[in-house]
Amino acid sequence: MAYGNPAQAAGTGTGTGSTSARRAGVLERAPSPSLVVGGIASVQFGSAIAATLFHRVGPAGTVLLRLTSATVVLLALWRPRVRGRTRRELLLAGTFGLVLAGMNLSFYEALARIPLGIAVTLEFVGPLTVAVAGSRRRVDFAWVALAATGIIALARGSTDGLDALGAVLALTAGGLWGTYIIVNARIGRAFEGGTGLALAMCVATVAVAPVGVASAGGHLLEPHALLVGSAVGMLSSAIPYSLEVEALRRIRPSVFGVLMSLEPAMAAFAGFLVLGQSLGPRALLGIALVVIASAGASRRAREPGLPVQ
């Protein structure tokens, strides 16, 4: 769930030689929509794989492994410096880090209780709210009503009922995702490239560490947990971040937002393939309604495209 402002990051990175040039060349040749969809798939399959660790290290331990591995990558990539930063900039990065920590923890705790597709759909309410916030256009209220209908369908789409705590946690993650979007815009203006994100990830990792260690203990150091946790960090952070940086160089934010609306559907697909989570017709209808509402709201939004979780 942890990304900086890809549009900002695209403009200021310094290459590291021929390897970076070759990587950039490959991305430049790929169609923009395929980069966005590839990033979405990477995030959601990363989340599905993360769920396979819950029985050993718990959701909090999994979040710690993910954040740690992603932080190492981002520190190596951006090499941020604290020295010379104002107190306001450091406070902003710290706030962003706490938002990232809370967003990841609440989402993974939700994922331990409800299917991935439903968790992401409920979480998507946050970005949808940001997209239509302050609007007085009737069509935007229609999108909100459509999304609300989809959520009601999700809540009643399982014969066993939807775990109430899981749903609350997913909605909490969505609220933090909406906050993330707002704070992220300020980070992009205050810091060059992805340096603000890298600093925030350090804060997020430190904030999650006590909970993660208390939850998982020595299991965090097991080779399997370290390997899968590192893979989750790459799939859910480093890979999609790189893909979106290149995509946002070439497509309009509104188009990016519409493509991002595929997240809930991709999450349901990943949950089915990796975790064997099948959803009933009403739940699938609910996901479809939220996808349509998010796409419609994003298409009309004036702000930058929704960042991936």
- Residues 46-101 have pLDDT tens digits of 999 999 999 999 999 999 999 999 899 889 988 888 888 999 999 999 999 999 99
Count of domains for the chain: 1
Average pLDDT, the chain: 82
Position 174 confidence tier, pLDDT thresholds 50, 70, 90: very high
Separation of alpha carbons 85 and 103, rounded Å: 26
Position 301 confidence tier, pLDDT thresholds 50, 70, 90: low
- Domain-embedded: residue 277: yes
Residue 237 has pLDDT above 90, yes or no: no
pLDDT of 206 reads 97
Q: In sequence order, which residues have a C-beta less than 8 Å from that of residue 35 and are 6 or more positions away?
A: 27, 243, 244, 246, 247
Position 161 confidence tier, pLDDT thresholds 50, 70, 90: low
- Domain-embedded: residue 23: no
Strand runs labelled E in 57-172: none
pLDDT of 2 reads 39
Greater confidence, 67 or 30? 67
Separation of alpha carbons 71 and 276, rounded Å: 30
- Domain-embedded: residue 146: yes
Position 125 confidence tier, pLDDT thresholds 50, 70, 90: confident
- Domain-embedded: residue 309: no
Q: Which residue has the tokens 């609220």?
A: 175
Domain that holds residue 131: 6-10+31-300
- Domain-embedded: residue 112: yes
- Domain-embedded: residue 20: no
- Domain-embedded: residue 147: yes
* Entry pTM: 0.81
- Domain-embedded: residue 308: no
Average pLDDT over residues 202-223: 95
Residue 259 has pLDDT above 90, yes or no: no
**Nearest by Cα to 212 from 103, 101, 123:** 101
